[in-house]
A and B are shown apart, each in its own frame.
Chain A
Amino acid sequence: MSITRVDEVFNERLINLNMNAVNKKEAIEELTKNLYKEGHISDSKIFIDDVYLRENEGQTGLGNHIAIPHGKSDTVKITSIAFGRTKNDLIWECPDDKPVHVVILFAVRNVDKTTVHLKLLSQIAMALADDDILNRLLKTNDKAEIISLLSQEIS
Protein backbone atom coordinates (compact mmCIF):
# COMPACT_ATOMS: atom_id res chain seq x y z
CA MET A 1 0.00 0.00 0.00
CA SER A 2 1.52 3.32 -0.99
CA ILE A 3 2.16 6.06 1.56
CA THR A 4 0.13 8.54 -0.49
CA ARG A 5 -2.96 6.39 -0.04
CA VAL A 6 -2.59 6.27 3.74
CA ASP A 7 -2.10 10.03 3.72
CA GLU A 8 -5.41 10.45 1.85
CA VAL A 9 -7.43 8.74 4.59
CA PHE A 10 -5.42 9.83 7.60
CA ASN A 11 -2.80 12.52 8.20
CA GLU A 12 -1.50 14.86 10.90
CA ARG A 13 -3.91 17.63 9.87
CA LEU A 14 -6.75 15.31 10.90
CA ILE A 15 -5.35 14.80 14.42
CA ASN A 16 -6.38 17.08 17.29
CA LEU A 17 -4.72 16.21 20.61
CA ASN A 18 -6.36 19.03 22.55
CA MET A 19 -10.07 18.91 21.84
CA ASN A 20 -12.15 21.37 23.84
CA ALA A 21 -15.22 19.12 23.77
CA VAL A 22 -16.81 18.37 27.13
CA ASN A 23 -19.37 15.90 25.79
CA LYS A 24 -20.01 13.45 22.98
CA LYS A 25 -21.98 15.91 20.84
CA GLU A 26 -19.22 18.53 20.97
CA ALA A 27 -16.54 15.95 20.20
CA ILE A 28 -18.37 14.79 17.08
CA GLU A 29 -18.89 18.43 16.04
CA GLU A 30 -15.25 19.34 16.63
CA LEU A 31 -13.94 16.43 14.55
CA THR A 32 -16.54 17.07 11.84
CA LYS A 33 -15.32 20.67 11.61
CA ASN A 34 -11.81 19.33 11.04
CA LEU A 35 -13.00 17.00 8.24
CA TYR A 36 -14.88 19.91 6.66
CA LYS A 37 -11.86 22.20 6.85
CA GLU A 38 -9.75 19.61 5.05
CA GLY A 39 -12.40 19.30 2.33
CA HIS A 40 -13.29 15.69 3.17
CA ILE A 41 -17.01 16.39 3.68
CA SER A 42 -19.27 18.92 1.96
CA ASP A 43 -21.98 19.47 4.61
CA SER A 44 -21.32 19.24 8.35
CA LYS A 45 -24.95 19.16 9.45
CA ILE A 46 -26.02 16.34 7.15
CA PHE A 47 -22.87 14.40 8.04
CA ILE A 48 -23.53 14.71 11.78
CA ASP A 49 -27.13 13.52 11.24
CA ASP A 50 -25.74 10.44 9.46
CA VAL A 51 -23.27 9.82 12.31
CA TYR A 52 -26.19 9.84 14.76
CA LEU A 53 -28.11 7.39 12.56
CA ARG A 54 -25.29 4.93 13.21
CA GLU A 55 -25.15 5.86 16.90
CA ASN A 56 -28.78 4.77 17.22
CA GLU A 57 -27.97 1.31 15.90
CA GLY A 58 -25.54 0.38 18.68
CA GLN A 59 -22.79 1.64 20.91
CA THR A 60 -19.62 2.97 19.35
CA GLY A 61 -17.61 3.11 22.57
CA LEU A 62 -15.01 0.33 22.45
CA GLY A 63 -14.07 0.45 26.12
CA ASN A 64 -10.66 1.49 27.42
CA HIS A 65 -11.49 5.21 26.88
CA ILE A 66 -11.85 4.92 23.09
CA ALA A 67 -14.86 5.54 20.85
CA ILE A 68 -15.27 5.12 17.10
CA PRO A 69 -18.37 6.91 15.83
CA HIS A 70 -18.86 6.61 12.09
CA GLY A 71 -20.95 8.18 9.38
CA LYS A 72 -21.66 6.76 5.96
CA SER A 73 -22.96 9.75 4.08
CA ASP A 74 -23.54 11.37 0.71
CA THR A 75 -21.71 14.43 2.04
CA VAL A 76 -18.44 12.52 2.41
CA LYS A 77 -16.10 13.36 -0.45
CA ILE A 78 -13.08 11.41 0.75
CA THR A 79 -13.38 8.29 2.91
CA SER A 80 -11.15 9.12 5.86
CA ILE A 81 -10.80 9.38 9.65
CA ALA A 82 -10.34 12.23 12.12
CA PHE A 83 -8.59 11.57 15.44
CA GLY A 84 -9.35 13.62 18.54
CA ARG A 85 -8.21 13.45 22.14
CA THR A 86 -9.33 15.40 25.18
CA LYS A 87 -8.48 15.52 28.86
CA ASN A 88 -12.19 15.99 29.56
CA ASP A 89 -14.27 12.95 30.58
CA LEU A 90 -16.71 12.31 27.75
CA ILE A 91 -19.71 10.22 28.65
CA TRP A 92 -20.23 7.67 25.87
CA GLU A 93 -22.14 4.37 25.60
CA CYS A 94 -19.48 1.67 25.97
CA PRO A 95 -19.01 -1.80 27.46
CA ASP A 96 -16.89 -0.77 30.47
CA ASP A 97 -18.53 2.57 31.39
CA LYS A 98 -15.14 4.32 31.47
CA PRO A 99 -15.12 7.95 30.27
CA VAL A 100 -13.92 8.41 26.71
CA HIS A 101 -10.78 10.43 25.96
CA VAL A 102 -9.98 9.37 22.39
CA VAL A 103 -12.54 9.70 19.60
CA ILE A 104 -11.80 8.38 16.13
CA LEU A 105 -14.46 9.55 13.69
CA PHE A 106 -14.81 7.45 10.53
CA ALA A 107 -16.22 9.26 7.50
CA VAL A 108 -17.25 6.89 4.73
CA ARG A 109 -18.51 7.69 1.25
CA ASN A 110 -21.82 6.10 0.30
CA VAL A 111 -20.39 4.99 -3.00
CA ASP A 112 -16.67 4.55 -3.39
CA LYS A 113 -15.13 4.20 -6.79
CA THR A 114 -12.54 1.87 -5.36
CA THR A 115 -12.36 -0.17 -2.18
CA VAL A 116 -8.83 1.02 -1.36
CA HIS A 117 -9.90 3.56 1.25
CA LEU A 118 -12.40 1.19 2.87
CA LYS A 119 -9.70 -1.45 3.06
CA LEU A 120 -7.40 1.05 4.80
CA LEU A 121 -10.17 1.90 7.28
CA SER A 122 -10.69 -1.78 8.10
CA GLN A 123 -6.97 -2.16 8.71
CA ILE A 124 -6.93 0.92 10.96
CA ALA A 125 -9.84 -0.64 12.88
CA MET A 126 -7.84 -3.85 13.35
CA ALA A 127 -5.05 -1.90 15.01
CA LEU A 128 -7.58 -0.90 17.66
CA ALA A 129 -7.89 -4.53 18.76
CA ASP A 130 -4.48 -4.27 20.44
CA ASP A 131 -4.58 -2.93 24.02
CA ASP A 132 -0.93 -1.79 23.86
CA ILE A 133 -1.78 0.40 20.86
CA LEU A 134 -4.81 1.84 22.68
CA ASN A 135 -2.66 2.72 25.67
CA ARG A 136 -0.14 4.57 23.48
CA LEU A 137 -2.96 6.42 21.67
CA LEU A 138 -4.11 7.71 25.06
CA LYS A 139 -0.64 8.95 26.00
CA THR A 140 1.62 9.97 23.14
CA ASN A 141 1.87 13.60 22.04
CA ASP A 142 3.63 12.66 18.82
CA LYS A 143 1.25 12.82 15.86
CA ALA A 144 3.62 10.81 13.70
CA GLU A 145 3.52 8.01 16.28
CA ILE A 146 -0.28 8.03 16.23
CA ILE A 147 -0.22 7.55 12.46
CA SER A 148 2.32 4.76 12.71
CA LEU A 149 0.37 3.00 15.51
CA LEU A 150 -2.84 3.07 13.50
CA SER A 151 -1.04 1.99 10.35
CA GLN A 152 0.41 -1.13 11.96
CA GLU A 153 -1.98 -3.56 10.22
CA ILE A 154 -1.68 -1.94 6.82
CA SER A 155 0.11 -4.19 4.39
Chain B
Amino acid sequence: MNIIGVAACVAGIAHTYIAKKKLILAAEKAGHTIHIETQGTIGIEDKLTDNDIKSADIVILAIDIQIKGKDRFIGKKMVEVPTEVAVHSPTALIKKLQEIVESVEVKK
Protein backbone atom coordinates (compact mmCIF):
# COMPACT_ATOMS: atom_id res chain seq x y z
CA MET B 1 0.00 0.00 0.00
CA ASN B 2 1.22 3.47 -0.85
CA ILE B 3 0.44 5.95 1.93
CA ILE B 4 0.90 9.70 1.86
CA GLY B 5 -0.03 12.29 4.43
CA VAL B 6 0.52 15.49 6.31
CA ALA B 7 1.42 16.05 9.98
CA ALA B 8 0.80 19.39 11.69
CA CYS B 9 0.32 20.23 15.38
CA VAL B 10 -0.70 23.39 17.23
CA ALA B 11 2.76 24.72 18.10
CA GLY B 12 4.47 23.14 15.10
CA ILE B 13 7.55 22.34 17.13
CA ALA B 14 7.53 18.75 18.37
CA HIS B 15 4.35 16.68 17.97
CA THR B 16 4.29 17.22 14.19
CA TYR B 17 7.64 15.49 13.87
CA ILE B 18 7.00 12.73 16.39
CA ALA B 19 3.74 11.93 14.56
CA LYS B 20 5.59 11.83 11.24
CA LYS B 21 8.29 9.49 12.49
CA LYS B 22 5.80 7.22 14.29
CA LEU B 23 3.72 6.86 11.10
CA ILE B 24 6.82 6.08 9.03
CA LEU B 25 8.08 3.46 11.51
CA ALA B 26 4.66 1.75 11.75
CA ALA B 27 3.99 1.82 7.99
CA GLU B 28 7.41 0.49 7.03
CA LYS B 29 7.18 -2.25 9.63
CA ALA B 30 3.91 -3.36 8.02
CA GLY B 31 5.59 -3.36 4.58
CA HIS B 32 4.00 -0.21 3.16
CA THR B 33 5.62 2.76 1.48
CA ILE B 34 4.92 6.13 3.07
CA HIS B 35 5.66 9.81 2.54
CA ILE B 36 4.66 12.38 5.17
CA GLU B 37 4.80 16.12 4.62
CA THR B 38 5.23 18.30 7.73
CA GLN B 39 3.73 21.76 8.20
CA GLY B 40 5.39 23.27 11.28
CA THR B 41 6.80 26.54 12.61
CA ILE B 42 9.80 25.94 10.39
CA GLY B 43 7.52 25.80 7.31
CA ILE B 44 6.62 22.99 4.94
CA GLU B 45 9.14 20.16 4.68
CA ASP B 46 9.16 16.98 2.61
CA LYS B 47 6.44 18.50 0.46
CA LEU B 48 4.29 16.00 -1.41
CA THR B 49 4.66 16.19 -5.18
CA ASP B 50 1.78 15.88 -7.66
CA ASN B 51 3.16 12.48 -8.50
CA ASP B 52 3.21 11.38 -4.83
CA ILE B 53 -0.45 12.34 -4.56
CA LYS B 54 -1.44 10.73 -7.85
CA SER B 55 0.11 7.38 -6.98
CA ALA B 56 -1.14 7.23 -3.37
CA ASP B 57 -3.67 4.60 -2.26
CA ILE B 58 -4.72 6.62 0.76
CA VAL B 59 -4.07 9.93 2.51
CA ILE B 60 -3.56 10.23 6.27
CA LEU B 61 -3.86 13.67 7.83
CA ALA B 62 -2.48 13.73 11.40
CA ILE B 63 -3.40 17.31 12.17
CA ASP B 64 -4.61 19.58 14.97
CA ILE B 65 -4.88 22.71 12.84
CA GLN B 66 -6.05 23.81 9.38
CA ILE B 67 -3.39 22.81 6.88
CA LYS B 68 -2.28 24.37 3.64
CA GLY B 69 -3.29 22.64 0.42
CA LYS B 70 -5.91 20.20 1.69
CA ASP B 71 -7.66 20.56 -1.68
CA ARG B 72 -4.77 18.67 -3.27
CA PHE B 73 -6.34 15.48 -1.92
CA ILE B 74 -9.84 15.92 -3.34
CA GLY B 75 -10.98 12.62 -4.82
CA LYS B 76 -8.53 10.55 -2.74
CA LYS B 77 -9.43 8.22 0.10
CA MET B 78 -8.58 10.24 3.17
CA VAL B 79 -8.49 9.73 6.94
CA GLU B 80 -8.10 12.64 9.35
CA VAL B 81 -7.04 12.20 13.00
CA PRO B 82 -5.46 14.41 15.69
CA THR B 83 -1.64 14.10 15.91
CA GLU B 84 -2.18 12.41 19.29
CA VAL B 85 -3.62 9.32 17.55
CA ALA B 86 -0.58 9.02 15.28
CA VAL B 87 1.74 9.47 18.25
CA HIS B 88 0.01 7.03 20.55
CA SER B 89 -1.47 4.35 18.24
CA PRO B 90 0.43 4.43 14.94
CA THR B 91 0.25 0.67 14.32
CA ALA B 92 -3.53 0.52 14.81
CA LEU B 93 -3.92 3.58 12.60
CA ILE B 94 -1.92 2.07 9.74
CA LYS B 95 -3.97 -1.13 10.05
CA LYS B 96 -7.16 0.94 9.81
CA LEU B 97 -5.87 2.60 6.62
CA GLN B 98 -5.18 -0.81 5.15
CA GLU B 99 -8.70 -2.01 5.99
CA ILE B 100 -10.19 1.04 4.28
CA VAL B 101 -8.14 0.52 1.13
CA GLU B 102 -8.93 -3.20 1.05
CA SER B 103 -12.67 -2.79 1.69
CA VAL B 104 -12.93 -0.36 -1.20
CA GLU B 105 -11.08 -2.80 -3.45
CA VAL B 106 -13.46 -5.64 -2.53
CA LYS B 107 -16.45 -3.48 -3.39
CA LYS B 108 -15.02 -2.91 -6.86
- What residues of chain A have their CB less than 8 Å away from a CB belonging to chain B? 54, 57-59, 62-63, 68, 70, 72, 95-96, 106, 108, 115, 118-119, 121-123, 125-126, 128-130, 153
Contacts and interface: CB of A to CB of B under 8 A. Distances in A.
Contacts of B25: 129-130
A68 B25 CA distance: 20
B87 A121 contact: no
Given A115-B43, A122-B42, A58 B10 contact: yes
Contact of B64 (A58, A108, A115, A121): A58
B15 to A, nearest CB: 8
Contacts of A96: 88
B14 A70 contact: yes
A121 B40 CA distance: 12
Interface in B40-56: 40-43
Contacts of B11: 54, 57, 70, 72, 108
For the complex of A and B, list the 3 residue pairs with the smallest distance between their C-beta atoms, beginning with the closest.
A129-B21, A125-B14, A95-B88
Contact of A122 (B17, B64, B87): B17
B78 interface: no
Contacts of A115: 42-43
Given A58-B9, A122-B13, 6 more contacts: A95-B88, A106-B13, A106-B14, A108-B11, A122-B16, A125-B17
A118 B13 CA distance: 7
Given A121-B13, A125-B14, A153 B84 contact: no
Interface centre among A96, A106, A128 (most CB of B within 10 A): A128
A108 B73 CA distance: 32
A118 B16 CA distance: 13
B42 A129 contact: no
Contacts of B17: 122-123, 125-126, 129
Contacts of A129: 17-18, 20-22, 25, 87
B44 to A, nearest CB: 12
B86 to A, nearest CB: 10
A121 B14 contact: yes
A129 B27 CA distance: 13
Contacts of B10: 54, 57-58
A69 to B, nearest CB: 10
Contacts of B88: 62-63, 95-96
Contacts of A153: 21
Contacts of B43: 115
